[in-house]
Amino acid sequence: MVSDEIHHSLADADDIEEVWDPEISVADVFRNLLHHPVQLVTRWNWKAVLLAMIVRAFFYLIVYVISGESWNAIFAAVAVEMFFRFITTGLAGAAVQSFRKAKPVWLANVIVSILLPAFSHTVEFIAHYVQDNYFADVLAASQNNGRQRTFAISVLFSVVSVLFNLYAMRNGVLLVGAGEETQSLGKDLRQIPWLLCEFTASLPVLIAKFYDSGRYLNAVGAVFAFGFTVGTILGTFRGKWQWAYRGALGAWAILIPISILAIFVRRYVNGRRAEQAEG
């Protein structure tokens, strides 16, 4: 009976996954991680590591090929990327998982989308910069600005991926060390495609809800914020104005049509439900 009461309180837990509360404040998550940082090692998220190494290696391969880099430079960049992702992503994944019950949700999203990419991309920039400038004799360096192009896109990709990881973890996927909630990797992989669809549709659906409820400024604000964020990230980390405005325009060109489609789909579904209710 005593064991059932241990760690019921956040103050008692040396691992936030041992806290039973369905909701935990963002401030309490920070306090718990600060007082018990070892949990990030013991809860090292090998699932996030495995997926990150596969996706990131493919990501670097594609961008370097498009940039016209040599195969030696491509293999060197992929090797460096996989090496440092193996070291850092497990800790980052454990940190993201720590915020899966954090409230308010929007604040947790903002925190993980800023702090985690900032940490991982500081390491990424240093690793690839050192490779290109100090170990080019051993690991071929980028010759066609492949590293600079990849880094800017990689930051944007990380912001999106860390938010998806948090979304998946809130839905019980990609968890490690979470007791009975932890699933096998196979079951996680079977759920990821549907979660990706839900995650991708979440912003257009939110915009459609704003529009249908007459909150037009909220809808416009959400559209603007998305494009502005994409443009700011790409422009800042590429260091070129063209990347900023092209990134923003590209983001709006994708989001606006999808949001319009979401409005029509939402109205159709609501109409069908109303007909069924009347019938």
Confidence of residue 30 (pLDDT cuts 50, 70, 90): very high
Give the per-residue pLDDT at 11: 61
Q: What average pLDDT does range 119-136 have in this prediction?
A: 80
Mean pLDDT of 178-183: 91
> Collapsing DSSP states into helix, strand and coil, what is residue 25?
strand
Residue 237: name the closest of 111, 124, 116, 112 by CA.
124
Confidence of residue 23 (pLDDT cuts 50, 70, 90): confident
**Phi/psi of residue 25, each to 5°?**
-70, 155
Backbone angles phi, psi at 103, to 5 degrees: -130, 145
Predicted pLDDT of residue 154: 83
Q: Which amino acid is at 135?
A: F
Higher pLDDT, 109 or 275: 109
Q: Is the pLDDT of residue 43 over 90?
A: yes
Q: Is the peptide bond before 104 cis (omega within 30 degrees of 0)?
A: yes
Instruction: Identify the band that residue 219 occupies on the pLDDT scale cut at 50, 70 and 90.
Output: very high
Token pair in block for residue 174: 């990609």
- Convert 128-168 into a string of H (helix), E (strand) and C (coil): HHHHHHHCCCCCCCCCCCHHHHHHHHHHHHHHHHHHHHHHH
Report pLDDT digits (tens) over 47-85. 999 998 888 888 888 888 888 888 888 888 888 888 888
CA-nearest of 119, 121, 96 to 109 is 96
Which of the four pLDDT bands, split at 50, 70 and 90, describes residue 191? very high
Q: Is the pLDDT of residue 6 over 60?
A: no
- The predicted pLDDT at position 1 comes to 37
26, pLDDT greater than 90: yes
Of 178 and 237, the one with more pLDDT: 178
Percent above pLDDT 90 for the chain: 52
How far is 85 from 108, CA to CA, in rounded Å? 23
Helix (H, G, I), strand (E, B) or coil at 103: strand
Which residues lie closer than 8 Å to 162 by C-beta, 6 or more apart?
A: 92, 96, 112, 113, 116, 117
Average pLDDT over residues 178-201: 94
Q: What does the pLDDT look like over 152-171, one tens digit per residue? A: 788 888 899 999 999 999 99
Residue 29 in 3-state DSSP?
helix
**Of residues 148 and 169, which shows the higher confidence score?**
169
Q: Which residue has the tokens 């019950």?
A: 101
**pLDDT at residue 5 is higher than 60:** no
SS3 102: strand
Q: Give the pLDDT band (50/70/90) at residue 3.
A: very low
Q: Which of 262, 24, 241, 277 has the alpha carbon at shortest distance from 152?
A: 241
The upper half-sphere exposure of residue 164, i.e. CA atoms within 13 Å in the direction of its Cβ, equals 20
Q: What is the pLDDT of residue 12?
A: 67
> Do 199 and 185 touch, CB atoms closer than 8 A?
no
